[in-house]
Structure 1
Amino acid sequence: MRGQGSGFIIDRTGIILTNSHVVNGADKVTITLKDGRTFQGHVRGADEVTDLAVVKIDNGSSDLPVAPLGDSDRVRVGDWAIAVGNPLGLDNTVTLGIVSTLHRSSSQVGIPDKRVDFIQTDAAINPGNSGGPLLNDRGEVIGINTAIRADAMGIGFAIPINKAKTVEAQLVKGETVAHPYLGVQMTTLTPELAKENNEDPNSAFLIPETNGVIVLRVLPNTPAATAGIRRGDVITQVDAQAVTTAEQLQNLVENSRVGQTLQLKVRRGNQTQQLAIRTAELHSDS
């Protein structure tokens, strides 16, 4: 297969960060720098769940240009955002905008199979920009541009650089990044939404009128199925911590360990139950 994208060097030995979908299925990677130098490289590791990948330049020289990494936790709405890449095949393009929103979940963006809270910006990000750096006004990398919505007009998304920092070392070693999961499809529930459902004579079942996360589907042969979670259950706590949104629950699971037992407080009809669920490792086909 043949494709094109962007990336940036983070180490003088020739370590490059990019998107997983940029190098997906590639058997050969050619890297062209802004000064015209061309190198061959190979993919050291890729993680589809976070859409991150590491490419290593073969026999990299010591004078490779390195992009300084910033701290995406310090980014604020309204900060300058500069996207660099090769959009639509146009080499070395720079676009300027601001940070529009932080913590835009992958489910909100329309890619529920990913686990990323994106930086949203109005800097133009188009196909070919994917994998390139999003910079702050000091030239530090704060995110990795991701052209994930073909219909996005004036909206761009970037993976926070701190997320990449947490998996980069594993990807360099060729290790698989483990992601715990439960095995449910879910959405945020509010008392208002529950009341609207309960007043509908065509509703399949009544829902507790509370804040929490309602289970829409339990996937077979998953930790949730084994633990006895049912469709219509409303999860209100995880390990005694209140949960009010699906994104919050997803983050709690993501930040747990594979094989860790979580204690869930569940509303089922008029009853409240405590269920223990042991997370398993998420695979791309899960």
Structure 2
Amino acid sequence: MRWASALIASSCRFKLNDLEFNLCPLLNKPGTELDISFSQLTPPTNTSYRYTLGLGTPIQRDVTLPADLQCEEGTYLCLVVLNTRPNHPSEPARYLQVVPIATTTSLNPKAKLLEKALPGDLHEPMQLTLHGGLYNGLSQKAAFIFHCDHAIEEPSSPQFSWQFNGTHTFSWRTSHACPLNFPHGSPSQPIEDQPDPDPPARPPPDPDADNPPHRGSSHLALFYVLMCASVIYILLRYILPSHSRSRHISSFQSFMTLRRGRRKPAKSFRPPAESLVQWAEEEQLDDYEIDDSTPLTPTFKRAFTASSQYGSAG
């Protein structure tokens, strides 16, 4: 973030990076207060947030309210959070929070220039930060982002942007945020890069937002690719072949069961002639004269033993 130190005197005129600004028409209105309010549905209740900003002087305390239901004396910016039940309109609002954000004890106003929101912008936005609040042991600060707008109708007012970790941020479009020493329509010079001594707290990024990949994304992607490749290899190498073999074995068993069901009884068994010749040679039956041209016809007895005759030629 680019920034420039501010020279803020007792008045609301100051210089930033050789640019002159005058916020007195906005901030130097003693006795004037601005209310920045919005609500949020929190079923079954409704929660409202009311920021009160004192312009030039601290906000006035309400003598009709107890002290613990309003910010302390000397507060420039105070947040009050109220809660109501829409189904019970007769019930009074309940105070959930009373937060002093900027106080005279340590106001310490600081201004700096930010980077242009769009390349076509003529001027950088200006940020004014107010300090001094303390709530639940957490330091508070208010950051007003002023945008130069020559066409807006004055008096203008700020709009709430976001709140996180003690930083309350507002956007304020106004013609009084335009540099005095530049003619209307003239761009300002780019500011130099310098460290920010008072950075506001930033809300955590949205995990669903389109953010650029971080440095370790390529390694993580490679890891996922290798994991997927390993799973595919295991499937192809072990699981799918085993499943295929199981199907083949099951088919073979079914085939053999069907074949056994179709086999003829043992009495109709007729071995081939070649087997008979081989068996005869193994038994050394020299008395047989085997003519290769004449097929052997086996003769079976009631009990088939090793001494049984295998048959005769002719």
- Please state which structure has a larger fraction of its residues in strand: 1
TM tier relative to shorter chain: under 0.3
- Please state which structure has a larger fraction of its residues in helix: 2
TM-score (norm 2): 0.20
Q: Relative contact order (C-alpha < 8 Å, sep 6+): which is higher? A: 1
Rg comparison, structure with higher value: 2
